[in-house]
Amino acid sequence: MKNRFFLVVATVAAVVLMTSCGKVPQADIDAANAAISAAQTAQADIYLPGEFAALNDSMTVIMQSVEAQKSKLFKNFKTVKLQAGALTTLAGQAATNAAVKKDEVKVEAETLLAQVKTLLADNQALVLKAPKGKEGKAVLDEIKGEMTVIETSINDAQTLFDGGTDYMQVLDKVKAANEALTAINTELTDAIAKVRR
Amino acid sequence: MKRSLVKALIFTIITAIFIASMVWLFFALIPEPPLRDIESAQASIAQARDQNSVIYSAKTFREARSYYDSAMISWKTENKRFILFRDYERARMFASMSQKKASEATRATIAKANDMRVTLDHEITRLTTGVRDFEKVFSSMPIPQEIKKKHARGKLLLREAVIAYEKGEYVAGSVKIAEANEYITDSYNYANDKLVEYYKSYSHWKEWAGKTIKESRENGTYAIIVEKIPGVCYLYHRGEKKYTFEVEFGKNWMGDKMIKGDNATPEGRYIVTKKLSNGSTKYHKALLINYPNQEDLEEFRVRVERGQLPSGSKIGELIEIHGEGGRGGNWTEGCVALRNSDMDVLFKYAGNGTAVTIIGSSVPLSEYISSR
């Protein structure tokens, strides 16, 4: 009788013990979240949008895995712990990559800004040499007006650049100015070359 | 002894079967977690996000995310309960709604993005044509600086819109093109309205030129006809065009002369009253005309009476056809300027009394625009 009783008690105890095994690796999950926040602070969402989206997707999968384990009788958070650890590493890498990419874009924007300023000065010099025939004068006036507007846009881009937030926006603005100035440069050069022939 | 052993064995077997049955029943009653439904919802959201639903179907995408969050919260809440009492139906329901919304957002995004791309493409083409037409037709017109700046600003915004379009950023491109449209359309309409307004005098110009040529034919005399568009001076003899010269006018050439100092070249029928050369003019050679004539004086008086001119305004005078032209652009204070070599020819044939008719153009407006 006594043995039967102990057998039942032992069975129940074993079940209780096994169902309470496995705690949520909250510290690892918190670390992963912190790493993703740090990546966002490094502007990974702007400079590496694909990579940043993948980080968020991975975190979503981890949270699903946590609840999936909680739904079980016998929980095992080993895989979740490993996933969270890997995600923390990836997010750290993304932060680093974002800083590198931001620097690349910054350098590109800075180079292009310098280039358009030089092109603007070159065009202003070409305007003085351009032929001033009847139609030519009107076109030159038009070009001068256009360059004034482009110069304002370049100054706006410089202000944005000095602000140091979104170099992608600076790049788009300066690319438009560069295209406009290049077209003007071609027009002026062709007009001057025609007169020389 | 044997009997008690058998009894014990039977009891153990029955107990074991009972416990196994209880354990099996326990596991059978554990509810299936909503993992698959939630994974499907998350996959649909990711797809919608990758299609830029955040931009193109923001509201529907937000709803999808909201339902997903509700599904997760519901799942978490149920997981806190004793395992046999958990009910994941609510979580499944939210997950299903999330998936539906995300799919809806994706479909709407694809349609909207395509519409936006087509509209943006059309607008870019239309405004590029507008810019080109403005520059071809209106660039030689005396247009205020602020209008020219507007046009230039619109042109730059158009380039920014093209860059956004090429990057597939249709929302950003649409914003830029809307701004560009405002600037380009405003400047185009200003210039076009000004030209149309100017051409309202076309019938008068045609009449004056026609009369001048007829008189030249009938009288066998020379006549000068100056056309502001396209900026030429014709010398007629006996009604036949003999010479064509390029000319330059006052900076404010478009329209009739109103007052002294307005830099406008007058329009009307005049005659040469004096020939100037050999140092009597600083413009190589000159033909003084009888501006203001009777008509000009009458018009001036009427405008002053109607308050259309500032008080104290004076009518202009000393309008000539002279040399020192060929500078490019319109620079005089109202006179008509020719190159010296051309002025030599005109001066040779024109004399006191030679008819000088100054008009806007003999070319109809539609022909002028299509020729550009």
pLDDT single digits (tens) A59-73:
999 999 999 999 998
On whether the CB atoms of residues B45 and B102 are closer than 8 A, the answer is: yes
On whether the CB atoms of residues B165 and A176 are closer than 8 A, the answer is: no
Contacts of A136 in chain B (CB under 8 A): 328
| 8 Å CB contact of B11 and A153 | no
Contacts of B327 in chain A (CB under 8 A): 132, 137
Crossing angle for the helix pair A78-129 and A167-196, to the nearest 10 degrees: 30
The rounded distance, in Å, linking the Cα atoms of B327 and A138 is 12
Q: Lowest mean pLDDT of A132-136, B164-168, B360-364, name the range.
A: A132-136
Mode of pairing for the β-strands spanning B232-237 and B240-246: antiparallel
* Residue A80 in tokens: 């979740």
| 8 Å CB contact of A132 and B328 | yes
The rounded distance, in Å, linking the Cα atoms of A75 and A63 is 14
Per-chain mean pLDDT for chain A: 88
- Phi first, then psi, for residue B283 (nearest 5°) are -110, 40
Classify domain B201-371 by CATH number: 2.40.440.10
**pLDDT average, residue stretch B239-253:** 94
pLDDT for res B236: 97
Query: Would the pLDDT of B291 be above 90?
Result: yes
Please list the alpha-helical segments (H only) found in B253-364.
Answer: 294-305, 340-349
What digits encode the pLDDT tens for the residues B4-44? 889 999 999 999 999 999 989 888 888 999 999 999 999 99
**pLDDT average, residue stretch A119-136:** 84
The rounded distance, in Å, linking the Cα atoms of A174 and B160 is 9
pLDDT for res A13: 60
**pLDDT average, residue stretch A9-14:** 62
Would you list the DSSP string of chain A?
-HHHHHHHHHHHHHHHHHHT-----HHHHHHHHHHHHHHHHTTHHHH-HHHHHHHHHHHHHHHHHHHHHHTSSS---HHHHHHHHHHHHHHHHHHHHHHHHHHHHHHHHHHHHHHHHHHHHHHHHHHHHS---HHHHHHHHHHHHHHHHHHHHHHHHHHHHHHTS-HHHHHHHHHHHHHHHHHHHHHHHHHHHHHH-
Query: Would the pLDDT of A18 be above 60?
Result: no
Nearest alpha carbon to residue B236 among B51, B362, B85, B79: B362
| 8 Å CB contact of A149 and B156 | yes
Other beta carbons less than 10 A from residue A31's beta carbon:
17
Query: Pick from A73, A138, A153: which is nearest to B30 by CB?
Result: A73
Nearest alpha carbon to residue B267 among B309, B227, B220, B298: B227
| 8 Å CB contact of B46 and A57 | yes
* Residue B263 in tokens: 């830099």
Per-chain mean pLDDT for chain B: 93
pLDDT for res A6: 62
Nearest-CA distance from B56 to chain A in Å? Answer: 17
The rounded distance, in Å, linking the Cα atoms of B297 and B294 is 5
* Residue B350 in tokens: 């024109």
pLDDT for res B35: 96
Higher pLDDT residue, B311 or A94? A94
* pTM, full prediction: 0.78
The rounded distance, in Å, linking the Cα atoms of A92 and A31 is 11
Query: Would the pLDDT of A21 be above 60?
Result: no
Query: Would the pLDDT of A35 be above 90?
Result: yes
**pLDDT average, residue stretch B100-129:** 95
What digits encode the pLDDT tens for the residues B184-197? 999 999 999 999 99
The contact set of B with A (CB < 8 A) is 11, 15, 19, 23, 27, 30-31, 33, 35, 38-39, 42, 46, 49-50, 72, 75-76, 79, 83, 86, 88, 135, 139-140, 145, 148-149, 151-153, 155-156, 159-160, 163-164, 231, 246, 248, 327-329
Q: Please name the amino acid found at residue B126.
A: R
On whether the CB atoms of residues B259 and B252 are closer than 8 A, the answer is: no
Which DSSP helix (H) or strand (E) runs through B274?
Answer: strand B268-276
What digits encode the pLDDT tens for the residues B186-236? 999 999 999 999 999 999 999 999 999 999 999 999 999 999 998 999 999
The rounded distance, in Å, linking the Cα atoms of B320 and B338 is 11
The rounded distance, in Å, linking the Cα atoms of A81 and A28 is 6
pLDDT for res B43: 97
Q: Report angle CA B152, B156, B162 to the nearest 5 degrees.
A: 145
Contacts of B139 in chain A (CB under 8 A): 138-139, 141-142
The strands making up B286-289's β-sheet, listed across from edge to edge, are B240-246, B232-237, B222-227, B355-359, B268-276, B286-289, B320-322, B336-337
Nearest-CA distance from A66 to chain B in Å? Answer: 9
DSSP B32: P
pLDDT for res A135: 62
The domain locations on chain B are 19-111, 121-199, 201-371
Nearest-CA distance from A92 to chain B in Å? Answer: 22
Locate tokens 């590493």: which residue?
Answer: A89
Classify domain B19-111 by CATH number: 1.20.140
B158 pLDDT tier (thresholds 50, 70, 90)? very high
The rounded distance, in Å, linking the Cα atoms of A7 and B60 is 58
pLDDT for res B188: 94
pLDDT for res B372: 76
**pLDDT average, residue stretch B240-245:** 96
The rounded distance, in Å, linking the Cα atoms of A105 and A169 is 10
**pLDDT average, residue stretch A25-49:** 96
State the number of CA atoms in the 13 A half-sphere of B52 facing the CB: 14
pLDDT for res A16: 57
pLDDT for res B266: 95
Task: Kindly give, in sequence order, each residue whose CB lies less than 8 Å from that of residue B344, ignoring residues fewer than 6 positions away.
Answer: B285, B323
pLDDT for res A15: 58
pLDDT for res A2: 60
pLDDT for res A26: 96
Could you give the 3-state DSSP secondary structure of residue B31?
coil
| Conformational region of residue B261, where left means phi above 0, alpha means psi within -120 to 50, and beta covers everything else | left
**Nearest Cα residue in chain A from B338:** A134
| 8 Å CB contact of A134 and B160 | no
**Nearest Cα residue in chain A from B164:** A172
Which DSSP helix (H) or strand (E) runs through B233?
Answer: strand B232-237
Query: Would the pLDDT of A20 be above 60?
Result: no
Nearest alpha carbon to residue A142 among B145, B233, B279: B145
pLDDT for res B37: 97
A–B interface: beta-carbon pairs under 8 A: 104
Q: Which CATH number fits domain B121-199: 3.30.70, 1.25.40, 1.10.357, 1.20.1270?
A: 1.20.1270
